[in-house]
Amino acid sequence: MPASDPTGVLLVDKPGGITSHDVVARARKALGTRKVGHAGTLDPMATGLLILGVGPATRLLTYIVGLDKTYLATIRLGADTTTDDAEGEILETADAAGLAAVEDTAVAAGIARLTGEIEQVPSTVSAIKVAGRRAYDLARAGEQVELKSRRVTVSRFEVLAARRSAAAIDLDVVVDCSSGTYIRALARDLGRDLRVGGHLTALRRTRIGAFDVQSACGIDGIDATRLQTPADVAARVLPALAVDAAQARDLRQGKRLPGLGATLPGPQTAAIDPDGALVGIVERRGDDVRSVMNMPEEQRS
């Protein structure tokens, strides 16, 4: 692609105190393009991995947003808040005697009940849409918000450290979970289970699928040299299939590849041309292969 038309995927380590949209705005300015999107919003309080798509590579975000994730978090037991995190108003607090009665074995049992496939009601202050409006907009307008539970998978919920005081029990935890899991809701539900209340005081996303925050740049380090190519990213998200030049041309023109359906290594596959460029995402249709998402052909000097 020409230098004036950047494309690729950017890993950014979002700092606290700004929105995901603020990071997108910084990337647009730094890269000189309006076409920037992100996969998986982080709250202003949260830090860590935010994946940006730039130019035509924004089409890959669809395949990234649903990947499983890892978070480091601090859960404070001893108080409920309106937002299930430290940014909300405190609704109710537990007394010192109630907190002292919460033994480590009870915490472990509560965490065990929130591990595996669980039904989770998302936090009221979330981006889920209710009748076309975001739940957090309804909540801020003072309207009653009732969200339906959803099945999520928490494959790891582990306490790394615990600190006790008369006013709170702070748990540093690591969580591996499916997309759509709310860590704030885990904090809330653990507190309710232990009958002392709970909310989140810190949250950091360290992984999305195969992408790790250690490979991310800070917001002041955003530039085109940090962009990962669409082919490299697609091959980390999906199985890959090498196609020859004629097959790549046919796919780009919307034609099917007859008789190759059985060669696909997965339901959706990244088709890579002989130059190492991403042709698009393909799937099987009967005995054939057809493209379900095409990338523009890269211009080469």
What does the block give as tokens for 18? Answer: 């700004």
Rounded distance between C-alpha atoms, residue 62 and residue 251, angstroms: 20
Length of the chain measured in residues: 301
The CA distances from residue 27 to 20, 195, 214, in Å, are 11, 44, 19
What does the block give as tokens for 3? Answer: 């230098």
What does the block give as tokens for 92? Answer: 């109710």
Active site residue 288: no
> Which one of the listed residues 13, 43, 80, 85 is annotated catalytic?
43
Dihedral sign for Cα atoms in the order 82, 109, 78, 159 = negative
Q: How many beta carbons lie within 10 A of that of residue 134, not counting itself?
A: 15
Dihedral sign for Cα atoms in the order 264, 268, 273, 279 = positive
Dihedral sign for Cα atoms in the order 233, 237, 241, 247 = negative
Active site residues: 43
